[in-house]
Chain A
């Protein structure tokens, strides 16, 4: 079946620290991979995506690389800000389209 596993949170960092949130997946075929972010009181927003192996998605200083050999899509940012505090969801779409399968989410807390 299709599933996504994320590191448990919360992840607590100081401002300007380096961020990694691990995400691994199980899927049949070649899924598309996504990171969504949910800020407090708001809906899910697409952060970045990658549709094939070795693709790198990037947005707002965040990056993730589609690694087929390790079935991973880890989220990274070189220098986090307080405003990055949110819940981050890794997701896959089994055929690139149709339904999304989400991980359980990782809460990030950034302190000044």
Chain B
């Protein structure tokens, strides 16, 4: 099994620019999560999908943020009009929630480090 992959690994952009990150989950995983991690902190939940449906969004996810998972496989996270406060590591995780199961386990990708100048 290949793990969760994310692209790019690093992104440097100027304030006001738009950026898009991609996440490829583990094959056949039906759930995909996005988190944000700032220096010295634990990851904070942003949003998640079950297949192609976006089921929950955190209040951290402002209007400038949008996530999609159009075919229930890979996902993209776009940030419009970036601000310096958006600088962080953006983590993607995937899991397989089986029918009738009460728990799943999330497997994380290496993250995309965003620096906004």
Contacts and interface: CB of A to CB of B under 8 A. Distances in A.
A64 interface: no
Contacts of A46: 105-107
A51 B31 CA distance: 19
A99 B109 contact: no
A27 interface: no
A96 B100 CA distance: 12
Interface in A77-91: 89, 91
Nearest to B111: A43
Interface size range on A against B: 20 to 34
B91 A97 contact: no
A100 B111 contact: no
Interface string A23-62: 0000000001010100000111110010100000000000
Given A43-B109, A44-B91, A96 B102 contact: yes
A99 B91 contact: no
Contacts of B4: 43
A77 to B, nearest CB: 20
B45 interface: yes
B48 A99 contact: yes
A68 B58 CA distance: 27
A58 to B, nearest CB: 15
Interface string B75-117: 0000000000000000101010100011111111111000000
B108 A43 contact: yes
A99 B109 CA distance: 16
A93 B33 CA distance: 13
A81 B8 CA distance: 33
Contact of B102 (A4, A42, A51): A51
Most chain A beta-carbon neighbours within 10 Å: one of B45, B48, B106: B106
Given A32-B103, A97-B31, 11 more contacts: A42-B110, A43-B91, A44-B43, A49-B105, A97-B95, A98-B48, A99-B48, A99-B56, A100-B33, A102-B42, A105-B41
Interface of B: 4, 31, 33, 35, 40-45, 48, 56, 58, 91, 93, 95, 97, 101-111
